[in-house]
Amino acid sequence: MVITRATEYAVRTVVFLAQQEKNEIVLKKDICRTQDVTPAFLTKILQPLIKAGIVSSQRGVGGGFLLAKDPEQITLLDIFQAEEGQLKLNHCLVDVDVCHRDAYCSAHEVWYEAQMQMAQVLKSYSVSDLVKRQHEKLTQLKKCAP
């Protein structure tokens, strides 16, 4: 019942990309160095982001990664779903017909409501929100311990 490391790294990576100058291409190893991820694992994490249209990539010399959309257009839910597939709290919430009890199982609806609330929160934050917040936090930090 936890989000995976892959999702966490993916969020970090996208936020990092959003912090670069627009259209600036970033090397994989620079992402790794700054975000504490190993190159091999980062490769695996980036592919779903690319397929979801969140990140784009460029091969060859001078190649690397960059955001494929505006940071305002990317929500945390997008990143989550790119890595983990559709959000579901219980199997019966997605694979319809799997649960023959769902006609009378009242828990079903509660799981559904909890899931919707969670999705709502994740959808309400864009990557640019995160970048802004992070900036604020860092300037706060500097004030406290300059």
Q: Which distant-in-sequence residues (6+ apart) come within 8 Å of 114 by Cβ?
A: 89
Binding window for DNA (CB under 7 A); candidates: 10-18, 53-61, 96-104, 133-141 = 53-61
Amino acid occupying residue 124: S
Minimum CB separation from a second copy for residue 7, in Å?
9
With beta carbons less than 8 A apart as the criterion, state whether 32 and 92 touch: no
Considering the rule CB under 7 A, would residue 75 count as an interface residue with DNA? no
Residue closer to a second copy, measured from CB, 68 or 89: 89
With beta carbons less than 8 A apart as the criterion, state whether 13 and 37 touch: yes
Q: Which residues contribute to the site for a second copy (CB under 8 A)?
A: 1-4, 8, 11-12, 15, 76, 84, 87-91, 103-107, 109-111, 113-115, 117-118, 120-122, 125, 129-131, 133-134, 137-138, 141
